[in-house]
Amino acid sequence: MRRRRFLTGALTAGAAGAGAAAIAGSYPRPALAQSRIEWRMVTAWPKGLPGLGSSAERLAERIGQLSAGRLTVKVFAGGELVSPLQGLAAVSQGMAEMAHDFALYHIGQLPAAGFFSAVPFGLTPAEFNGWINFGGGQELWDELYDSVGAKPFLAGNTGVQMGGWFLDEVNDVADLKGRRFSIPGYGGDALKKLGVETVTLSSGELFGRLQDRSIDGAEWIGPYNDLSLGLYKITKLYYWPGFQEPGTGLECVVDKAKFAALPDDLRQIVAAACQAENDLTSAEYSGRSPGALATLVNEHGVKLKKFSRDLLMAFGSAASDVVGEVLEGGDDITRRIVTSYLRHRKSALVWSRITDGGYLAARDLGFRFPDGSTS
């Protein structure tokens, strides 16, 4: 029954709303000939988008190479087969064998899904990887997606994101009230509590909506992608830190039945390819973002604006309320996911404070290094 409700709700939304069952019949079917299997991967990204889009392409290419062509994956940009935000529903309905997106896009159908992507003031990328792989996160994720016939894999991380682009300055909570802002997931739910009208837009929609001022601001990952989207052409106000997504995990979702039907070696190849891409995408964002930020600031006149302490405290209180509501109002699997996540967060706070936090504070003391920089 839960799977039926999910499909009905998700596939009547957005671009998929024209009758999912009828549309599905017109899609190209996967090829299976002479032991060669072809899968379709739908994504949430525009074609050619650096980072996210290139990650999906790399993943598909790696699977084909490791399998010596026995399993090939055809990648579709967001909107080519289904709406960019409907990847999980497409896999569940049989429109595609794989999807590449963010789990937080699916909290309307699976309220705990966002814990496998990003939680405001939640886990950092390293902490998140620890929870997924050694803290019981993957097992809970599998159980949650089993209800919709899917198998999830962690396939990347954007790192700590920026706070977003604003058309006008935001100095206190009063400045937020009545503004319309594009932000997905629990971060959007937190801003609603502060009087913000939130929407969830795909990356391809952001430029136009900012340009015609139908939204007052938008957050979209960080400088590596924001530079490529050209958002600096609309506004120069770029806020930090990204409290809403402190390290956003990418997911590769696979049709569970199709995955189970693969020979064992191909299943291992899919899993290994996702693990490799998780590492590589994280490195890509870490490696490319500093240069992109410098370009935004030095060549395009972008102004970096830090959220005030009062704003961050308000964001934190609102985020706490949101997480508490998901916990208290959730079903059994939701409560177990949130409880596990919070338990890992609590233990990670101590460790991260004396390791990453302590080291970064020490590096920032201001001594001179051979490259001429002072922290």
Residue ranges of the annotated binding site for substrate are 161, 219, 245
**CA dist., res. 134 & res. 156, Å (int):** 17
Helix axes 125-134, 332-352, angle to 10 degrees: 130
Annotated binding-site members for Na(+):
220
Task: Determine the distance from the C-alpha atom of residue 323 to the mean position of all C-alpha atoms in its chain, rounded to a whole number.
Answer: 17
**CA dist., res. 373 & res. 319, Å (int):** 36
* DSSP notation for 201-249: --HHHHHHHHHTTSSSEE--S-HHHHHHHTGGGT--EEEE--TT-SSPE
Instruction: Characterise 98 by phi-psi region: left (phi > 0), alpha (psi -120 to 50), beta (else).
Output: beta
**CA dist., res. 196 & res. 182, Å (int):** 10
275: exposed, middle or buried (Cβ count in 10 Å: 0-12, 13-18, 19+)? middle
Q: Which residue has the tokens 């999912």?
A: 20
43: exposed, middle or buried (Cβ count in 10 Å: 0-12, 13-18, 19+)? buried
- DSSP designation for 78: T
Long-range contacts of 16-23 (CB under 8 A, 24+ apart): 16/82, 16/83, 16/86, 16/89, 16/90, 20/89, 20/93, 20/95, 21/93, 23/95
Annotated binding-site members:
161, 219-220, 245
